[in-house]
Amino acid sequence: MRTPHLPLSMFLSLVACAGSEQEPASMKHHDHHDPGKHGHHHPGGHDHAHHGGVHHDFSDAAEWSKRFDDPARDAWQKPDEIVKLLAIEPGMTVVDLGAGTGYFESRLATAVGPTGKVVALDPEANMVAFMRDRFEKAGVKNVEPRTCPLDSTGLPAASADRVLIVDTWHHIEKREVYAKHLANVLKSGGSVMIVDFTMETEKGPPKELRVPPEKLVAELRAGGLEARVVDESLPDQLVVVGKKAL
Ligand SMILES: C[S@@+](CC[C@H](N)C(=O)[O-])C[C@H]1O[C@@H](n2cnc3c(N)ncnc32)[C@H](O)[C@@H]1O
């Protein structure tokens, strides 16, 4: 669905994110108020603003890849530290929710090993197609890119050991309900890890769109998970883990 004028809240969300989520360069020169010009649409096909989740156009996967997969990102994203914090064991099933262009996938695939599986979920079909192509070319066999609805992983109960959510939680609407769904998808003893921008950093979306750590913890607890902020050395982000009791 296309609208002739973008609501202000949606326009703000378009220009909202800096760091890994800043608009790709090719979009910066376009008129954000004309969605038709660069195919602006919500991944679920709805062009409307909503409460709790932040809209963004992720349809141009190749353009986003220049930013998401920029090797310079490693310096502040610290993907090896994040994967270490996940405490993944070989054979595990790890879900990457809002996987985007698949920045984390090679590391996750190595951590789960040939007997494990990485499920790379994204509601944006172009992101999923991009990942399929990328992993096929790279010969990566234990990553399954799949589309998911905006309000669900689409996965069965007790099917995941770990769920990683990087720079994506703030896009989700009704996060407490989503946390309950994640608790259902996790196996006993499994955990979900949210990585997102701190309130203080210059990177990331405007402060009013960020979720403070105590709220992240409360949202996961509302879903029935044992949640806490985790110690780490990321310069711009925080990490919150929610564990499902054994
Ligand atoms: C900023 S990107 C992060 C991509 C990846 N996690 C990374 O760190 O490179 C956010 C991703 O979340 C996806 N997304 C947006 N809304 C979502 C939702 N409700 N559920 C799951 N993913 C969502 C977008 O399509 C996009 O690929």
How many degrees, rounded to 5, is the angle at CA 99 between CA 97 and CA 207? 80
For 74-120, how does the pLDDT look when each residue is reduced to its tens digit (9 = 90+)? 999 999 999 999 999 999 999 999 999 999 999 999 999 999 999 99
Which pLDDT score is estimated for 79?
98
Q: Output the ligand 1 site: residues, CB below 6 A.
A: 20-21, 43, 58, 68, 97-100, 103, 122-124, 127, 150, 166-168, 171-172
For 58-67, how does the pLDDT look when each residue is reduced to its tens digit (9 = 90+)? 889 999 999 9
* 9 three-state secondary structure: helix
Which pLDDT score is estimated for 46?
32
Q: What is the rounded radius of gyration, in angstroms, for the C-alpha atoms of the chain?
A: 17
Residues 6+ apart with CB under 8 A from 50: 173
Residue 29 sits at φ, ψ, to 5 deg, of -90, 0
* Atom number in ligand 1 closest to CA 165: 6
Closest CA to ligand 1's atom 19: 150
Which pLDDT score is estimated for 33?
25
Q: Which mutation among 41, 58, 177 tests ligand 1's pocket best, with the greatest number of atoms within 8 A of CB?
A: 58
At residue 185, what is the residue type? V
Which residues of the chain are under the pLDDT cut of 50?
A: 1-18, 23, 25-51
Q: Which structural domains are found in the chain, ordered by start? A: 8-59 (no CATH), 71-243 (3.40.50.150)
pTM of the predicted model, to two decimals? 0.85
Per the structure block, which two tokens stand in for 231? 């110690």
